[in-house]
């Protein structure tokens, strides 16, 4: 394992780098752990194991071998109606795999007016004849071949990298084809490869769109239809190694293409973790987290991505951007990291990131609390935040989302378990008087030293009791977090039966949480009625992250679009109205999904005309010829 001194020397001119290495060499000379030659040999394309190629990752280079081409997630994982007409989740990747959900069909029919008799038809496979042809400059291809960097002009490879997972993008794949997609996909395996690709793009005036995990929900990966230049999808997935781990400073330098599940697995082998777990962590990449200013479920302990980052290396048309050292804080003018984080692929490609790591927690415990109503639940979360005693994760779902989660409960295997569930329900609804159509639930996750976790748990439950909360057990908490990773698969089932749905999020001050939640949900219902939606929509929310001064609120909405000729247009009008309502109620444009092309119409309103001008000035300096021309943000 390379030492941090050697691997983490940072940027700067070659002469200053050599000077630093000589100084460090003097400190290390004679150390049995760090032989001078091995420790100081710069090797930018090699990881801690000495390998020059990519690590073996969970997601293959040919994504179509494992992932759906027109839906979310793995090919073998999906919600289906079995021969008995019951909903079942296929595959063995998730705890819900192979289980029957006996009440989910009834919930779908009752909530959306959907029926198994009304099924849509979508294309079973990709027709390569529908795919726009690849138009690539031959001189560029010759130069690219000389670099030995892997590339493809295959139709499937290009389509897989032409989109993220917005509703309209998936709908297009099911019903038609994008008008513009990447002309070529390239797979760099290290920072130096990215430098070569960007230099070639500048030389031949091409457009680069960086691609990480492909989980964007902001239209960030869609190719601008009017782009006439060759579009290069720069897929970072083969840059997926941990370059070094510094156990003394608890940091790790990692290539930006690694996906969340692989990052945690590799770190765990050395006894560490980042604790950064966005809902998309199976598929989203470290570079994507940086590019969108991501947030994770356990941010209360580990922080958001901006709290985890120590050092970033990014390749731009102007050259490489990085700081000259890897320190916890600097006072050297505006932080350049904050020009990079949230830049959404408009300035360059993030290649390497040094992040904070922690020892894997000794103890983990789930929990849940049921409240008589949403207002009491929000008040409890506010008090927990005020006392700064939030567990790793605390999330509050409203009643509609509670009913949704309850419908996803698998078939009970034993009569005894069924009896216990009935007893709990009787205790909460009859003995305690909670109305099942009003109550809401918070799920909890505690991590850390066992003794401290148990003390922490008692503190949180004591606060919950003051707001009428009742402990609802570990199983409900654990099941709530398990559903986090399968809930995205439900949209694909809905699309088969005329139900379209989407999620969106915001952050809001504490004193506006209740008003914003109520007003946005009511606005969605009203807009659906005005736009001719014949069936009542699902309009629901949850509070997912808490802060001293506010919270993140996450909305789901869905509706049955039978009888509507252009459902995506209607959906987009309703979502736009919901976003207007969020802004009018004091919410932000986005908490962690980013802006992309989907929400950039509101950027001036969000950050001011001058603020937008500042971002444009950075773009014009760093990328004067718009090589990174995805048209996000600006």
* Catalytic positions, written as ranges: 554
Q: What share of the chain is helix, strand, coil (3-state, %, to 5)?
A: 40, 20, 45
- Report the half-sphere exposure of 85 (CA within 13 A, side-chain side): 7
Distance (Å) of CA 194 to CA 233, 349, 600? 12, 8, 28
- DSSP-derived letter for residue 618 is H
Partner residues linked to 499 by β-bridges: 560
Q: Write the DSSP string, 188-241.
A: --SHHHHHHHHHHHHHHT-EEEEESSS--SSSTTSPPTT--SPEEEEE-TT---
How far apart CA 65 and CA 80 sit, in angstroms, is: 21
Q: Which residues of 516-553 are buried (b: 16+ CB within 10 A; e: fewer)?
A: bbebbbebbbebbeeeebebebbbbbbbbbbeeebbbb
- Could you give the CA distance from residue 253 to residue 128 in angstroms, rounded to a whole number? 40
Burial bucket for residue 565 (CB in 10 Å: 0-12, 13-18, 19+) = exposed
Q: Which two tokens stand for residue 289?
A: 């987290």
Could you tell me which residues are beta bridge partners of residue 370?
A: 441, 470
- Identify the helix (H) or strand (E) that includes residue 551: strand 550-560
Q: For residue 329, what are its two tokens?
A: 């804080």
Longest dimension (CA), the chain: 78
Element (H, E) at 160: helix 155-160
CA atoms of 588 and 611, how far apart (whole Å): 15
d(CA 132, CA 78): 29
What are the angstrom distances between the C-alpha of 31 and each of 26, 250, 269, 546? 10, 20, 25, 46
Cα–Cα distance between 235 and 521 in angstroms, integer? Answer: 38
Q: In the sheet where 309-316 sits, what is the strand order? A: 242-246, 251-255, 349-356, 309-316, 319-321
* Cβ(126)–Cβ(155) below 8 Å: yes
Tokens of 384: 């927990």
Calpha distance 231→210 (Å, rounded): 10
Nearest by Cα to 498 from 112, 102, 125, 107: 112
Residues β-bridged to residue 442: 369, 396
Q: Are strands 251-255 and 363-371 parallel, antiparallel or unpaired?
A: unpaired
Cβ distance 195 to 44 under 8 Å?
Answer: no
Question: Residue 229 is encoded by which pair of tokens?
Answer: 């230049």
């Amino acid at each position: 394992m390379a030492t941090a001194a050697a691997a983490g020397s940072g940027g700067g001119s070659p002469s200053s780098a050599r000077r630093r290495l000589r100084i460090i060499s003097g400190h290390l000379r004679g150390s049995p752990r760090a032989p001078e030659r091995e420790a100081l040999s710069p090797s930018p394309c090699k990881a801690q194991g000495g390998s020059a190629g990519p690590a073996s990752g969970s997601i293959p280079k040919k994504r179509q071998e494992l992932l759906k081409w027109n839906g979310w997630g793995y090919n073998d994982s999906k919600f289906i109606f079995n021969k008995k007409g019951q909903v079942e989740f296929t595959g063995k990747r998730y705890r819900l795999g192979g289980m029957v959900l006996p009440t989910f069909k009834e919930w779908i029919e009752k909530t959306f007016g959907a029926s198994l008799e009304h099924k849509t038809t979508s294309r079973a496979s990709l027709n390569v004849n529908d795919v726009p042809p690849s138009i690539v400059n031959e001189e560029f291809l010759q130069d690219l071949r000389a670099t030995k960097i892997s590339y493809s002009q295959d139709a499937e490879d290009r389509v897989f990298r032409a989109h993220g997972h917005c509703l309209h993008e998936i709908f297009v794949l099911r019903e038609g084809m994008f008008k513009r997609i990447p002309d070529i996909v390239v797979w760099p395996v290290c920072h130096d490869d990215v430098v070569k690709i960007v230099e070639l793009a500048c030389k031949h005036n091409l457009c680069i769109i960086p691609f990480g995990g492909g989980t964007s929900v902001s239209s960030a990966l869609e190719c601008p239809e009017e782009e006439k230049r060759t579009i290069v999808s720069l897929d970072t997935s083969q840059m997926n190694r941990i370059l070094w781990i510094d156990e003394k400073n608890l940091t790790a330098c990692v290539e930006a293409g690694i996906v969340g599940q692989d990052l945690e697995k590799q770190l765990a082998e050395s006894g560490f973790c980042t604790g950064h777990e966005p809902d998309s962590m199976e598929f989203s990449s470290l570079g994507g987290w940086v590019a969108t200013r991501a947030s994770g479920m356990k941010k209360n302990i580990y922080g958001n991505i901006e709290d985890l980052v120590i050092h970033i290396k990014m390749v731009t048309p102007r050259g490489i951007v990085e700081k000259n050292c890897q320190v916890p804080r600097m006072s050297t003018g505006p932080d350049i990291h904050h020009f990079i984080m949230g830049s959404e692929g408009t300035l360059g490609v993030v290649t390497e990131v040094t992040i904070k790591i922690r020892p894997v927690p000794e103890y983990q415990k789930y929990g849940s609390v049921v409240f008589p109503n949403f207002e009491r639940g929000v008040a409890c979360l506010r008090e927990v935040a005020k006392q700064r005693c939030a567990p790793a994760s605390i999330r509050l779902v409203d009643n509609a989302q509670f009913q949704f989660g309850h419908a996803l409960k698998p078939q009970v295997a034993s009569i005894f378990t069924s009896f216990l569930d009935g007893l709990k329900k009787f205790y909460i609804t009859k003995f305690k008087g909670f109305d099942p159509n009003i109550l809401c639930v918070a799920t909890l996750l505690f991590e850390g030293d066992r003794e401290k976790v148990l003390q922490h748990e008692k503190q949180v439950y004591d606060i919950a009791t003051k707001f009428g909360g009742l402990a609802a057990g570990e199983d409900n908490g654990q099941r709530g977090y398990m559903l986090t990773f399968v809930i995205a698969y439900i949209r694909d089932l809905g699309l088969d039966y005329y139900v379209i749905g989407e999620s969106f999020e915001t952050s809001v001050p504490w004193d506006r949480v209740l008003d914003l939640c109520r007003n946005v949900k009511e606005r969605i219902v009203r807009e659906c009625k005005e736009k001719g939606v014949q069936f009542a929509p699902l309009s629901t929310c949850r509070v997912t992250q808490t802060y001293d001064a506010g919270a993140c609120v996450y909305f789901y909405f869905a509706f049955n679009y039978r009888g509507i000729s252009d459902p995506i247009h209607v959906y987009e009008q309703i979502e736009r109205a919901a976003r207007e309502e969020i802004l009018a109620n004091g919410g932000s444009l986005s908490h962690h999904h980013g802006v992309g092309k989907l929400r950039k119409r509101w950027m001036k309103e969000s950050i001011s005309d001058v603020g937008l001008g500042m971002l444009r000035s950075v773009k014009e300096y760093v990328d004067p010829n718009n090589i990174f021309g995805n048209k996000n943000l600006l």
